[in-house]
Amino acid sequence: MDMENEQLISEEFTFAKEKEIAKSFSKSFQWEMIAIGLGQVSVWFILWPMVIYSIIPLWAGFLIATTCACFAYLPSHEAQHGNYSRGNPKMKWLDGFVGHLTLITLAIPYHLLRVTHMKHHAYTNNPIKDPDYNNAHGPLSSVIKNSLDGSSINYEKYLEVFESDKAFTKSFNKAVPLALFFRASMMVLVVLFPLETMLLWWLPAKIGTVYTTVYFSWYPHQDTGEGRYKDTRFWSHWIPRFFNHSMQLHFIHHLHPGIGHFDEPKAIEALKPFMIARKVPGAEKIPDRISYNSLINIT
């Protein structure tokens, strides 16, 4: 936040107060998200024998696998922010455990998404340093196309951008063997079970990646600039928020990543005056009550 603007904000809406309120919503143990992450990947694993032994048809398996893929990212996202361990070193294993397992459905290594996501938070909407910049800007059609052909997660160029950041390059390189393992697994499976591999893993992972990119990157950051209170917006459209992981509320996550996903509606209700005072894009349209509100906008 610019110092000049900071002085213009009344004492009622200071950053210290905002942080204190946000902190009160950053304590819950996120068992729901763990259940979603481990649940979807378990269902996805069970699908394989069920389809191979013709217990369910392949088309049904494809629909279920695609749903699993759409649910795969968010539990890992909470893990990337350490929101399961919440700073407890003894619980840190849980972040990695959930983060790795839930991403099997999308066939993307956890370490890769974790390090690039941290840079996305640090440099949101910076055309050079934000690894998600191309996923958040430009026409929706090209964002979808890039997600389908794999360019949306082609983060290799950021190894050069952050070459002096040893922690970044170390984590990035840690992801490489797992990425190779995913590819090799798919190559072996496709020889044994070609259509099953395509319709239970490859295509659902593509669709899940498109879904995640569109709702987690493109919608929340569309037409926004750089700066703590400017880089993510409140938005709404005709789809009820429960179908897009409530990404209408993503701005609060960018301001306070420690707030658990299911605590965001209550946190926003409490922080709404701060958001309006800080001129968060779209803040004036935030309803007074968000819980169970579908946030539909058909205008």
Partner 1 sequence: MKLLELILDWKMAWFGLIFLGSIFNAIAFELGMLENSSEITYICYAFGFILGLVAKLRGTWTWKTNS
- Shortest separation between residue 194's beta carbon and partner 1, angstroms: 4
Which one-letter DSSP state was computed for residue 239? S
201 touches 107 (CB < 8 A): yes
End-to-end CA distance of the chain: 32
284 touches 229 (CB < 8 A): no
Q: 256: left (phi > 0), else alpha (psi -120 to 50), else beta? A: beta
195 lies in the binding site for partner 1 (CB under 8 A): yes
198 lies in the binding site for partner 1 (CB under 8 A): yes
- Shortest separation between residue 149's beta carbon and partner 1, angstroms: 6
Q: Which is nearer to partner 1, 16 or 191 (CB)?
A: 191
Question: Which string of DSSP letters, residue by residue, matches 241-269?
Answer: GGGTTTGGGHHHHHH-TTS-GGGHHHHHH
CA distances from 35 to 64, 67, 88, 108, 220 (A): 17, 15, 20, 20, 25
Q: Which is nearer to partner 1, 11 or 156 (CB)?
A: 156
60 lies in the binding site for partner 1 (CB under 8 A): no
55 lies in the binding site for partner 1 (CB under 8 A): no
128 lies in the binding site for partner 1 (CB under 8 A): no
- Shortest separation between residue 20's beta carbon and partner 1, angstroms: 48
Among the listed residues 57, 138, 194, 273, the single contact to partner 1 using CB under 8 A: 194
139 lies in the binding site for partner 1 (CB under 8 A): no
Give contact residues for partner 1 (rule: CB under 8 A).
149, 183, 186-187, 190-191, 194-195, 197-198, 202
